[in-house]
Structure 1
Amino acid sequence: MTTFPIEITKLYHLRYLSLRDTAVSSVPRSIVNLRHLETLDLKRTLVRELPSEILRLQCLRHVIVYGYGSLPNMIPHGLKALKGIDSLSSLRKLCAVEAKLGETELLISIGRLTQLTMLCILQLGVEHGDALCSSIHKLKFLRSLRLDSRSDDETLSLEFISSSSLQLLQRLIIVGRVVENSQERLQNLTNLSILYLSGSKLQVDPLKSLQALPNLVSLSFDDRAYDGQSLCFKAGGFLMLRKLYIVTAKNLRRMTVEDKALPHLELMCLENCKLLEETPLGIERLKNLQHLFLIDMAMELRTTIYRGSQHENYLKIMHIPGIYIGTGDDGHWL
């Protein structure tokens, strides 16, 4: 499907409309006829703008306009800023909108959508920092938040996280460089269950700030989220964590799992960490670990595991039922 089916706009009592995964690129002004519409799902379509008439649909609760560009970069795109979006006072989900270069009007408007539970903002820059923090502090019901920076040169602050804000937040995705040491604010998010950091370029081990989060079940460091040389999972830390992903940690040379850390970990994925030549020290303590993925890792690590029982790298992981090793395109289960 490449064209919005105009007949749909005659379904005056329609509440849910999804054109997800189609090639539709525009939405007609006649969508204003759908006065009872609650959900507009245009995920993975070519739509980048909505007509201003959308602001008259006061029943709208979920607006999902989100997709990815073409390979190889796969840069995400969302909805171009729509002036007056704060008039949709019933909105619960807004994913995603793009911040304008040099302007803060969109961020200020979002702060008035106080019923939001899910929010995704793309193309953020340094100039948006104050307005972003001020608005997010007003969104007391947020459960899912994603923030993407405009480029690698832009730095995102986590000043919007405080002991009194985002108390219901369960899912946080930050794509972009983060102000050093600001990750300490993450320890205030006691209901957080999923944390994904990408391109943050942290130099200080962030695990110290995260290990006591009582509900964290999935942790991902992707695309140079961490640029330090060592990671240590301290004793008694990450008591609820089930899934751990560490991808493209280019300077990582050593991982340590202390006794009684990660007691419930079920899946560990290490990918493109070329300086890590040994399996994590203490990985043999992870008795609940069911799956270990070693993808595009150092040749030294792969070679010693292939040698089997003659090398410590293999002995430390032989208790794991499922071990996948190889490259992104070519690998196998041990």
Structure 2
Amino acid sequence: MRETGGVRAVTISEPGGPDVLTWTEVPDPVPADGEVVVDVVAAGVNRADVMQRRGLYPPPPGAPEYPGLECSGTVDGREVCALLSGGGYAERVAVPRGQLLPVPRGLSLAEAAALPEVACTVWSNVVDVAGLRAGETLLVHGGGSGIGTFAIQLGRALGARVVATARAAKHERLRELGADRVVDYTAEDFVAATEGGADVVLDIVGGSYLQRNVDVLRTGGRIVTIGLQGGRSGELNLGALLAKRASITATTLRSRPAEDKARIVAGVREQVWPLVEAGTIRPVVDRTMPMAQAAAAHALMESSDHLGKIVLLARG
């Protein structure tokens, strides 16, 4: 924190491209009842931050107006990481106590900042909603993303066969993370390439993949849609869904009530953190960048040339 009583944060001057992001002074956060203030060391960059910058994903009521859905740092000298509703791109942020997590043993604060949003998103959808079981097949779209790299590792840890879609340049690394099959979505049909079909589809694409996601399902399959990079609408043959006794669930994490987020965070701490501390799951950090260079980080994310997470350092 600066001696003037303010803190620096990345603000959005108006909806637009990466150049609308500015590293500037903002008021020091004031915690509400049940909140603590984290002195931020690092923050993960997520697609939702890009959508917010474009004016397409406003923060929920009461959340800071500047982006950032996860961070790591200290509270009274104790190292923590946290799931946020916003405000992670800052030197300090107020966080509900139920959304704090300890930094897993063996990880740096920069690595820990890459975990809360992806861990909570993947666990809540793949495990809590879809109920992925050992021996099933998990199809992960966007395997090279932060969500994708985490989902591949969690699926493998749960004993599932994992198929991922990604650009060809990322295939070797995704196989190293545990993917049994990687499909080049620019040249292959993922339905045909997923031999035997999938039991669970983790979908970040949405509309343009809707029918093919149903086509790839086995009987009793489950689609969990968490993103709309391929559009908000699509045509669906409901007969195929009925014949397979399948389901589609669409969820968001950011707008959930605090008590629901606290339940998810508790599940992640109980079921996922031991896997991280054992080295079974590791954060995949493409690179770290100073928080003042958030615009460059967003440009990199929009290019999709990264693999895993981009992490911003508040004092980098």
Q: TM-score scaled to structure 2, two decimals?
A: 0.29
Q: Which has the higher contact order (CA 8 A, sep 6+)?
A: 2
Larger Rg: 1
Q: TM-score scaled to structure 1, two decimals?
A: 0.28
More helix by share: 2
